[in-house]
């Protein structure tokens, strides 16, 4: 009989890891005792971070941090904290434009758990296109390049049985239920028809939006504008996801948005898996 291991995974866009640390990010992580934490929008360079940013002491096993920094200071970047030491690290998707911005970080595990011996965890930060037409065009290029990467991961799953979990800020609200004011945002970046179709197509190709699998009708948001009183009035968007291969998604027992404490303009998305 296979042993079931309960695995807790957190994803959060921290909107600057140094700012989030001042708000209690690492103390909160310790209180959660997760197995894995995916971080987006690090907005720092390695030289800016002291040792405490790379090792979080927990009761049982420490979380070791792996970072993929943007070459541009104070911009983008992703990280993954893990109790298990990865057997392999892949930084980027072999596209210079986006690898220079630190958009995608993958860590691999072999001999993982009985039900998922080969497992890969990805922290991902999609570009935002809201600043300008130029940035929106960059976002479309990212989506095109990422589609190729997703298909290569799907092929890897087929050939080796490797399971994938993609965590991060996708900067896309998929359906009308996923943002408060959908009618006013149909022509805005993050809810454009082309972006939503891209996500639908990805989910049609063997990936699962874990939150929607568990909570098909829940109205929950993960990001709020810092203008006005958007968060106070819950005028938000669900743009942070855990997206998994079908088998891995089926092992999720619960997933939720953690409303407190407010560590950034995003809220953590937390999931529990039986592996």
**Residue-averaged pLDDT of the chain:** 96
Q: Is residue 1 part of a domain?
A: no
CATH number at residue 39: 3.60.10.10
Q: Is residue 258 part of a domain?
A: yes
pTM (2 d.p.): 0.96
Judging by beta carbons within 10 Å of its beta carbon (0-12, 13-18, 19+), is residue 256 exposed, middle or buried? middle
pLDDT digits over 164-174, tens only? Answer: 999 999 999 99
Number of domain units in the chain:
1
What's the domain range around 270?
Answer: 6-274
User: Is-contact 142 98, C-beta < 8 A?
Assistant: yes
Distance, in Å, from the CA atom of 105 to the CA atom of 213, rounded to the nearest integer, reads 24
> What pLDDT score does 2 carry?
59
* pLDDT(4) > 90: no
Q: Is residue 63 part of a domain?
A: yes
Q: Catalytic one among 35, 169, 178, 209?
A: 169
Residue 266 DSSP class: B
pLDDT digits over 216-271, tens only? Answer: 999 999 999 999 899 999 999 999 999 999 999 999 999 999 999 999 999 999 99
Distance, in Å, from the CA atom of 211 to the CA atom of 65, rounded to the nearest integer, reads 25
- % of the chain at pLDDT higher than 70: 97
Catalytic residue flag (residue 110): no
Q: Is residue 69 part of a domain?
A: yes
């Amino acid at each position: 009989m296979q042993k079931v291991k309960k695995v807790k995974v957190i994803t959060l866009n921290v909107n600057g890891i140094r700012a989030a640390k001042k708000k209690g990010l690492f103390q909160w992580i310790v209180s959660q005792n997760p197995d894995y934490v995916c971080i987006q929008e690090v907005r720092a360079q390695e030289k800016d971070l002291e040792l405490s940013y790379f090792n979080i002491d927990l009761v049982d096993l420490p979380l070791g941090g792996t970072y993929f920094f943007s070459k541009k200071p104070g911009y983008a970047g992703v990280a993954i904290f893990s109790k298990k030491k990865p057997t392999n690290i892949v930084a980027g998707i072999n596209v210079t434009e986006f690898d220079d911005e630190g958009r995608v970080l993958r860590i691999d595990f072999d001999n993982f758990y009985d039900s998922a011996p080969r497992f890969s965890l990805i922290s991902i930060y999609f570009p935002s296109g809201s600043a300008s037409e130029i940035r929106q065009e960059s976002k479309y290029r990212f989506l095109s390049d990422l589609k190729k990467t997703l298909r290569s991961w799907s092929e890897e799953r087929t050939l080796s049985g490797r399971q994938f979990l993609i965590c991060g800020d996708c900067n896309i609200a998929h359906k009308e239920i996923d943002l408060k004011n959908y009618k006013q945002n149909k022509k805005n970046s993050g809810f454009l028809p082309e972006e939503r179709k891209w996500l639908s197509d990805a989910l049609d190709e063997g990936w699962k939006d874990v939150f929607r699998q568990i909570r098909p009708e829940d109205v929950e948001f993960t990001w709020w504008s810092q203008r006005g009183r958007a968060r106070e009035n819950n005028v938000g968007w669900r743009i942070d996801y855990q997206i998994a291969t079908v088998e891995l998604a089926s092992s999720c027992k619960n997933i939720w948005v953690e409303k407190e404490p407010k560590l950034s303009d995003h809220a953590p998305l937390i999931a529990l898996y039986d592996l």
